[in-house]
Amino acid sequence: MRLSQSFIKTRKQVPSDETAKNAKLLIQAGFIHKEMAGVYSYTTLGLKVLENIKQIVREEMNSIGGQEVQMTVLQPKEIWEKTDRWDDSKVDNWFKTKLANGTELGVGLTHEEPIVDLLKDYLSSYKDLPIFVYQIQSKFRNELRAKSGLLRGREFIMKDMYSFARSQKEHDELYEQAAKAYSRVYDRLGIGKVTYRVKADGGIFTDKYSDEYQTISPIGEDTLFNVPGTDKFFNEEVAPSNAPQISVDKKKLPIEDVEGKGIVGVEALAKFLNIPVEKTTKTMIYQTDSGEIIAAAVRGGYEVNEIKLRKVIGTKGVKLADEATVKRVTKAEIGYAGLLNLPKEVRLIVDESCSNRTNFETGANKTNFHTINVNWDRDIPMPKEFYDIKVAKLGDSDPESGKVYETKRAVEVGNIFPLESKYSDALNLYYIDESGKRQSIVMGCYGIGVSRLAGLLAEYFSDDKGLVWPENIAPAQVYLVRLGDSGTTVKYADRIYKKLVNKGIETIYDDRDMRPGEKFADADLMGIPHRVVISDKTIQADKIEYKRRSDREAKLMNEEEFFQILK
Amino acid sequence: MRLSQSFIKTRKQVPSDETAKNAKLLIQAGFIHKEMAGVYSYTTLGLKVLENIKQIVREEMNSIGGQEVQMTVLQPKEIWEKTDRWDDSKVDNWFKTKLANGTELGVGLTHEEPIVDLLKDYLSSYKDLPIFVYQIQSKFRNELRAKSGLLRGREFIMKDMYSFARSQKEHDELYEQAAKAYSRVYDRLGIGKVTYRVKADGGIFTDKYSDEYQTISPIGEDTLFNVPGTDKFFNEEVAPSNAPQISVDKKKLPIEDVEGKGIVGVEALAKFLNIPVEKTTKTMIYQTDSGEIIAAAVRGGYEVNEIKLRKVIGTKGVKLADEATVKRVTKAEIGYAGLLNLPKEVRLIVDESCSNRTNFETGANKTNFHTINVNWDRDIPMPKEFYDIKVAKLGDSDPESGKVYETKRAVEVGNIFPLESKYSDALNLYYIDESGKRQSIVMGCYGIGVSRLAGLLAEYFSDDKGLVWPENIAPAQVYLVRLGDSGTTVKYADRIYKKLVNKGIETIYDDRDMRPGEKFADADLMGIPHRVVISDKTIQADKIEYKRRSDREAKLMNEEEFFQILK
């Protein structure tokens, strides 16, 4: 590509509302154009980066038998109603539109329902399974905020794969095959060493974890909990955790109700009561779909983790109780719920962080009052079992190994999900087994955000001068700078360009009438791996000037040496 | 691809609401899946066909310097308001949606506005021009009816290219370059000999024609007018035409008003008056944006062509006058408008088909009355000029050559459009010329419907057994049938499959446990160019059985001969 004939230019300015480093880098280098928050167009350079990433993903999905298809953006609501994912109260980030006759349509945000619906035309027998089907396509999510450039798009490019198995066991094998393919993708993208398989929430319809692939990065939106020295990682949202032990008082003090009105937060409460935060208790009243009332208690300084709570209770639908219910069961205004004197209908679920405490505080279930110096068994029966229902935090340890976690910020670059038979059953996709019996199909889904990866890689492979693409992602291998426009130089540079093109080496030929410094700056900004300079001077020396993007200094070398490097 | 491991199956049934032959063929062969009217998913096979077409289109656009980009589906309304193409009353086939905060967005139906907006970041100088920029992307049009399978989609895949030139002359050169690239595309797709460049309406903002590429086909929605023996083609909507002459009466009869109430249509009127249809006159009252009243008259049997009328008048906005206006200027109820006694404010525009007539009829401009035996100059002044404002019909001749047109049905497979500076000016994209002056940019746009072509080619290359793909479009080159599952056969067929794969020849390996007839039927239905059969019998003969899809009979040949054919 001759820059003199390309519309692409690097830019000094980025849109004033652009705050994400990845988008800034890519806009300045001429790779993308911002249409609106979370919606970007791709120039020729940006598109090549996307295509390179897609191709790696495609090859690895194909390597495990993935069959590529292309589903549609426009979605009929009927199939989504069958899985209860149509209503905006259930899925809050749909874009919706309408046919001219008023029929509502969805704008595709994921494709579990359509792939199951499509396969109803094709799958029926055990002989048809197992299979992997995938597509690479634009997806649309009506995000409230989209300030992370390519990392969180309202319109973004995604590879989504779905597996269909005859049994849980067969599913588990497919799932691990896909996991291995994912690892290979990240290895090939050059981020394998900083990308981890992380246990995450499996969603509301399964007890299982899902797996996320997370790349360690300071810009990450997620916090990972890692057992040091192992590759055991949990997303903060599910990390099982033991709180650090606190010291036990030798003497049990007399229980006492202390008046303290309108104190907000456990820090303020601890200060007011002159006790350590660890002796306070946070008690939250929940309600399940079936009407059960739960009092969930964690030690001061922790929050209740609803994902963990849900699994303890064993039901999908758990939400904070409404004000009337809280008042009824605690006989107090909001803010004074505690462990004492709760009616029998309330089930108490207490986090392990509360277990080994003496003389602790809890809400008094009496407006404006807090009870202090509470002790298990003396004042309230010790629960038969303590649970882990807290959001893990720094200092907590892994219950299995006892090791204190390390935490890291990370960007999610993929996820794989066991779906059990939720979608296949709901949409009536079954198979007939060897004995003629109808059986459920066990599904998995596997996502990789292609445009998100482009953003992550841009940011990850960059320095203060711009982008630093790895060779297999770069939109071109060589940035050929022609300095001056003497006949000899033009002829020489044109010849090198032609030779590169003939060898199938993607080359950006900077044949513009611009100052050397500007050309070098553009080569750096665009992050092209190999830079070559041709000038009267280099021709006189019968050399070319070569610099790797990641090198500091250029050096002179023979043409042959240069072509050797590209091999 | 081993069929035993692919989810794809041919189908006996197609959805009952599917009426288009192209969609039926592709659904039965397992290439596409209908999501809803005008919205189709693509299986692995369908996707390969699309990719093959895209690649041909891409190569030809690149060959004229086209720079590929990817714009967005979600569209901000601001840029469309600047060109007055946002409002549903102006563009009636938008799909629209909303951000969570209520901001309206469009779902991309074309991309003139966004490409101009994008290029504002890059273009400023005469040195930056001329350029071609294109993309291949899904488009969305809220069509009222979508019953033509892939030929008219609500969601469809399109290549859209835009050119930017410094002058009309430079634009004209780019336009012709693009036209040549289009011809090469159709040649490579195998429909070059039945695809013609056809003059069509240039739209309301230019005097120029646009050009359509139309493939002759009985399923076409368009009618073409061709000057026999030439490659001069017009779309019916713009075909210039002379009506056949009618005989002139020697004697002028006395003019007379005849009462005839509620006669509908010129056929009925001619019968009632006992005159040939050609002696009747159809007079329509129009109104322009600037308030001018027009009486447009064509000979009975013709319709007024509003595109032609618009050009004669030289204004964009022409519409049928409202009832009150018609009544006011004709002093009669609707249905009796004629040429006589119109007020001076009415401009008379008479089609050439009315010129050479004697003793003709016209509405009397008097309720329930028709005037007969009207003669130019005796009863009404002969207009200084007659125009061509009629919809051409069979029997008409080309005014330039005088030859009588032939008409053909055709499918539009591409169009190229001069846009002048409508979009660039409206969105404030200019360039600075050599002398430092700001100049308008002259644009063109160039569309090819990729999925429409897939549908057209499916239908065009088919027979009573199914699809018959040309090699460069086919999703695979070879359909390898293994008959039986003896060890020898499996080994032999596996070896041939491996050999084909190693040579990079896309192959569908039918290794399923099915009857020979079913496999042969599937090979035909899918339309794969080369069919090979391996069985115990062929192995014994040390041959393979080969049949080209378009051949009737299979023949035995050596393995070497077969591989020779594929070269």
Which among A8, A35, A75 has the least Cβ separation from residue B76? A35
pLDDT at A567: 83
- Asked if A473 contacts A49 with a C-beta cutoff of 8 angstroms, the reply is yes
B120 Cβ under 8 Å from any chain A Cβ: no
Q: Return left, alpha or beta for B102; rule: phi > 0 is left, psi -120 to 50 is alpha, else beta.
A: left
pLDDT at A549: 96
Bridge partners for B66 per DSSP: B132
- Asked if B418 contacts B202 with a C-beta cutoff of 8 angstroms, the reply is yes
Residue B54 neighbours by CB under 8 Å, 6+ apart: B136, B157, B159, B450
Quick one: tokens of B243? 């009506």
Helices (H), A511-558: 516-526, 536-540
pLDDT at A204: 66
Cα torsion B96, B101, B103, B107: sign: negative
| Neighbouring C-beta atoms of residue B312, cutoff 10 Å | 17
Q: What are phi and psi of B425, to 5 degrees?
A: -65, -45
pLDDT at A316: 74
Q: Of B237, B239, B354, which is closest to residue B307 (Cα–Cα)?
A: B237
pLDDT at B314: 84
Average pLDDT of the segment spanning B57-73: 98
pLDDT at B437: 98
Which among A96, A119, A154 has the least Cβ separation from residue B7? A119
Please state, for a pLDDT cut of 70, what percent of chain A lies above it: 99
Q: CA Rg, chain A, in Å?
A: 30
Residue B62 neighbours by CB under 8 Å, 6+ apart: B68
pLDDT at A13: 83
Secondary structure tally for chain B: helices H, strands E: 14, 30
Distances (CA, A) of A314 to A284, A307, A351, A415: 18, 10, 16, 24
Q: In angstroms, rounded to a whole number, what is the distance separating the alpha carbons of residues B386 and B350?
A: 5
**B40/A72 touch (CB, cutoff 8 Å), yes or no:** yes
Most A CBs within 10 A among B50, B55, B121, B506, hence the mutation to make, goes to: B121
Distances (CA, A) of A221 to A182, A217, B518: 21, 9, 54
Residue A165 neighbours by CB under 8 Å, 6+ apart: A129, A130, A171, A173, A174, A441, A442, A443, A444
- Is 90 exceeded by the pLDDT of residue B204? no
Quick one: tokens of B506? 């896309």
* ipTM of the modeled complex: 0.92
Residues 355-374 of B with CB under 8 A from A: none
- Asked if B5 contacts A131 with a C-beta cutoff of 8 angstroms, the reply is yes
From the centroid of its chain, how far is CA A188?
19
The side-by-side arrangement of strands in the sheet containing A104-107 is A74-76, A104-107, A95-98
What confidence tens digit (pLDDT) does each residue in B400-446 have? 999 999 999 999 999 999 999 999 999 999 999 999 999 999 999 99
pTM metric for this prediction: 0.93
Residues 44-103 of A with CB under 8 A from B: 44, 46-47, 50, 65, 67-76, 93, 95-101
A6 Cβ under 8 Å from any chain B Cβ: yes
- Is 70 exceeded by the pLDDT of residue A301? yes
Average pLDDT, chain B: 95
Average pLDDT of the segment spanning B251-257: 95
Q: Of A487, A477, A485, A488, which is closest to residue A541 (Cα–Cα)?
A: A488
A141 Cβ under 8 Å from any chain B Cβ: no
Please state, for a pLDDT cut of 90, what percent of chain A lies above it: 92
What confidence tens digit (pLDDT) does each residue in B351-373 have? 999 998 999 999 999 999 999 99
Residues in B touching A41 (Cβ below 8 Å): 69-72, 114, 118
- The DSSP output letter for A101 is T
pLDDT at A252: 95
**A99/B142 touch (CB, cutoff 8 Å), yes or no:** yes
Most B CBs within 10 A among A2, A99, A161, hence the mutation to make, goes to: A99
Which among B8, B100, B138 has the least Cβ separation from residue A142? B100
Greater model confidence, A159 or A485: A159
**B35/A105 touch (CB, cutoff 8 Å), yes or no:** no
Q: In angstroms, rounded to a whole number, what is the distance separating the alpha carbons of residues A69 and A137?
A: 10
Distances (CA, A) of B95 to A72, A517, B109, B367: 15, 47, 8, 45
- Is 90 exceeded by the pLDDT of residue A90? no
What confidence tens digit (pLDDT) does each residue in A53-67 have? 999 999 999 999 999
Closest Cα in chain A, distance from residue B467 (Å):
20
Closest Cα in chain A, distance from residue B37 (Å):
10
Helices (H), A412-486: 422-426, 450-460
Residue B106 neighbours by CB under 8 Å, 6+ apart: B74, B75, B76, B77, B80, B86, B94, B95, B96, B97
Give the domains, in start order, of chain A with CATH numbers. 18-193+414-458 (3.30.930.10), 256-374 (3.90.960.10), 476-565 (3.40.50.800)
Which among A50, A67, A97 has the least Cβ separation from residue B107? A97
B15 Cβ under 8 Å from any chain A Cβ: no
A119 Cβ under 8 Å from any chain B Cβ: yes
pLDDT grade, residue A317 (50/70/90)?
Answer: confident
Q: In angstroms, rounded to a whole number, what is the distance separating the alpha carbons of residues B393 and B300?
A: 12
From the centroid of its chain, how far is CA A236?
12
Q: What are phi and psi of A160, to 5 degrees?
A: -125, 125
Taking CA–CA distances from B144, the nearest residue in chain A reads: A100
- Asked if B546 contacts B530 with a C-beta cutoff of 8 angstroms, the reply is yes
**B95/A105 touch (CB, cutoff 8 Å), yes or no:** yes
**B11/A121 touch (CB, cutoff 8 Å), yes or no:** yes
What confidence tens digit (pLDDT) does each residue in B259-292 have? 999 898 999 999 999 999 999 999 999 999 888 9
Q: Three-state SS for B163?
A: strand
pLDDT grade, residue A78 (50/70/90)?
Answer: very high
Q: In angstroms, rounded to a whole number, what is the distance separating the alpha carbons of residues B306 and B439?
A: 33
pLDDT at B205: 63
**A67/B7 touch (CB, cutoff 8 Å), yes or no:** yes
| Neighbouring C-beta atoms of residue B407, cutoff 10 Å | 16
Cα torsion B358, B359, B361, B366: sign: positive
Average pLDDT of the segment spanning A491-507: 97
pLDDT grade, residue A205 (50/70/90)?
Answer: low
**B69/A44 touch (CB, cutoff 8 Å), yes or no:** yes
Q: In angstroms, rounded to a whole number, what is the distance separating the alpha carbons of residues A62 and A39?
A: 29
Average pLDDT of the segment spanning A305-311: 93
pLDDT grade, residue B457 (50/70/90)?
Answer: very high
